[in-house]
Each structure stands twice: as structure tokens, then as C-alpha cells.
Structure 1
Amino acid sequence: MKRQHPSRASSRPSTSSRGQAKLPGKLRIIGGDFRRRQLPVLDRPGLRPTPDRVRETLFNWLGQALYGKQVLDLFAGTGALGIESLSRGAAEVTFVERDAQVASHIRENLTTLKAAQGKVITADALAFVASPGQPMDVVFLDPPFHQGWAASCCSALEAHGWLAKEAMIYLETEQSLTPTVPANWQLHRETQAGESMARLYRRLPA
């Protein structure tokens, strides 16, 4: 179930992780200050959190890299990755989501958590990173599959000042795609999950 506009829901293949099977329509935070808190997920076609197993792997990769950091969650969807980052000590998370109703729901969940460090921007992710930005320490990039947007987003992040000197960039794509990324991004970790391929890059000085 893929949506046509950019949100995390559009890229997520149908999965049946244990957490989702038990709690449909819920986002369970798996670590940090908000651990085990459950948040509602908006009832929209294809909108579902990044599966628990994928999130657990990703945040094990990141370890302590989030504490006190600036985080950008593009194509935010449910906001699962950004909210998990706030739970684990990120100084500030900027969520970018094109769908106004979905973006509003992220704001409601942040209010429920009293997570004032979260900022939600209703905007097209590609247009957002095509403008000059502030350096981010960690970026989550999960564009809709089969749209050809991964390379454009990666290039824009590097070209328009969105990345800190040694930023970490998480990129999730369809399994069949070998993504084109800037030459100074070094692959740090990768794993396959269903129809998707998850990769974590470390930015080196250009």
C-alpha cells in the first residue's frame, strides 16, 4: 500500500511485525525516556510506523550518536524515527511531512509526550532540502519507493548545507535500487527488511 505523496507511509511495504500484529494503529516507542509509550497512528491508507525490528536495528547502529544532536526526519509519516530520536536524547528533531493532516497528527503526539524539542514542518521534502539549511547531525531519509527521489534528496542535503561535518544519514529504499549518494558518504551499516534495504552512511569531510 503505497501513497503517492511523500510520507514514510508511502515507502513502507506491508509487514506483520509482532508489535504491529498485536497493536494495529499504534506506534510503540522502543527505547529511551518514552520507552513503551504507545501513540495512535492516523487512520490513512498505508500509514504505518517503521517496524519495531527495523527501528531497533537502526538505533542500535546509532548508539549514543543521538544525544544532544540535531535531527532531521524527512518524509516523516508517523514520525516514528524522529520521536524515537527524541526519546533517546536528541536536542531537537525537525519533522518534514507534506500531508497536512498527517503533520498535524505528529504535532498531537509530540504534545502528548510533552516533547517540546520536536518541530513539525508541513512541506514537500524535496523542496525543503533544495533550500539552504542548517547543519544536521542525523538525517532520516525514507522517500516513497520507485519514484527516483532518493538520489535527488541525497544530493540536495549535501549541496545546501543540511549536513554537519560528520553527519549520519539513514536511507531506506526499495531492495532493487543501488542508491547514488555523494562521494564523501561512507557506508557504515546496511540490512535488508522485506522489500526494503536500509543503509546508514557516515559523512566524511568533502
Structure 2
Amino acid sequence: MRIISGEWRGRKLTSPKGDATRPTADRTRETLFSMLTSRLGSFEELRVADLFAGSGALGLEALSRGAAHCLFVEQDRDAASTIRSNVAALDAGMRTAIESGSVMGLRAAREPLDLIMLDPPYRTGAGEVALDRLLRLGWIGDATWIALETAFNEEPEIAGLTIETSRKVGKGRLTLFRREPACEPA
């Protein structure tokens, strides 16, 4: 597994051993970042989160492309250790925070993030539950983009979020969300 683009293009990343995590395939990651780039234009100075982070490949890709900071959240101990190793190998420690624990353990946000990427276990509904919670806790603002990877036959729906686009890629589906606009009083 390698960084696709940016400052660390071509640099190798390690993956957690075993089958407790499912790293996002290079092709899927490339498609996701193409979808995001066409909407965001640039990752420069974005504050991002990589949730259900596994190896941290999504967040590290965003940092390589210019994101200012990434929060990684991973509950599997070995995977969290792998993220730490990958961050250290890229000398990215000053631009990262790593939370070892469940996404559901996150507290209220001080301010919304610019981009939230989630790659939860397929067919569990964990991504939808997490996004519902993050929306209520202020992690998602009007300008936040959300990228959720699910199994190809899952069609996620989250109250308060609108699907901007969805694309099947191999065994997965990439869905981009935005917060629903607030209704103006009549």
C-alpha cells in the first residue's frame, strides 16, 4: 500500500496484521480522492478525520495532499499501533492526533471539521450510527464533506445528511454526504 499523490507520493505504508481490519484498496482510495478533489479543489489547510482508520491510509493521503491536521480514530490496538508507525515514518506527528478507542467515544467537537472519512466494517451499520452521533455532537458543519465506504450493496441513509454522490468501486461503495441545509422560517 502506497500514498497516491502529494508530498509523500509513492511512500509505502504498513497495514495491520491479521484480518481485524480491511485496508481500503488503492483503487478505491484513488477513486475516493478523485471524487473529493473534484468537489474540494484542494486539501490545503483542511482539518480532517479518518475514522475506523485501520492503517491510517485515508488520513495520511489527505495530509500528503496538504491537509493541515488529521484526527485518526481506531479501536483495534494493533491497527492504532500501525497508524503510529506510519505517522512516525512520514514524520507527520505534529499534524496528527491518534485516538485509540471507539468512534462512539468521541466527545462534542469544539468546531466542525472540513472532511470526515469513515471506513467501518461492512454490513454493520456502524458508519451510519457514528455519523448520526457526530452530527449531534457538532463534528459536522454546513461546509463539512463526509466520505463513507460501505459494501457495494449498502445504501446508507443518515437523517440530517444529504447524499451528494455515490459510486460503486469493486466490492465497496463510496458515498459523499453534506449536511442538509437548515430550513428558513417562513
1:33 aligns with 2:4: no
Paired residues of 1:141 and 1:171 also in contact (CA < 8 A):
yes
Who is 1:173 aligned against? Answer: 150
Paired residues of 1:73 and 1:141 also in contact (CA < 8 A):
yes
> Which stretches of structure 1, 4 residues or more, deviate above 4 A after TM superposition?
none
Paired residues of 2:76 and 2:100 also in contact (CA < 8 A):
yes
Cα distance in 2, alignment partners of residues 162 and 52 from structure 1: 27
Aligned-partner residue type, residue 203 of structure 1: R
Who is 1:118 aligned against? Answer: 96
Per the normalisation by structure 1, the TM-score is: 0.79
1:200 aligns with 2:171: no
- Identity across aligned pairs (percent)? 38
Offset at 1:77? 0.3
Counterpart of 1:106 in 2: which secondary structure? helix
Offset at 1:36? 0.5
Paired residues of 2:150 and 2:172 also in contact (CA < 8 A):
yes
Deviations 1:143-184 (A, max 9, x none): 11222223211211111100132100001112232212133x
1:103 aligns with 2:80: yes
Aligned-partner residue type, residue 25 of structure 2: P
Counterpart of 2:27 in 1: which secondary structure? helix
Cα distance in 2, alignment partners of residues 153 and 42 from structure 1: 22
- Deviation larger for 102-111 or 29-38: 102-111
- Deviation larger for 32-41 or 60-69: 60-69
Cα distance in 2, alignment partners of residues 148 and 74 from structure 1: 14
Deviations 1:116-155 (A, max 9, x none): 2021110111222xx2123111001121122222321121
1:145 aligns with 2:119: no
5+ residue gaps in structure 2?
none
Per the normalisation by structure 2, the TM-score is: 0.87
Counterpart of 2:13 in 1: which secondary structure? strand
Deviations 1:74-121 (A, max 9, x none): 100011100000101111000000012211221111111111202111
Counterpart of 2:120 in 1: which secondary structure? coil
CA RMSD of aligned residues (A): 1.6
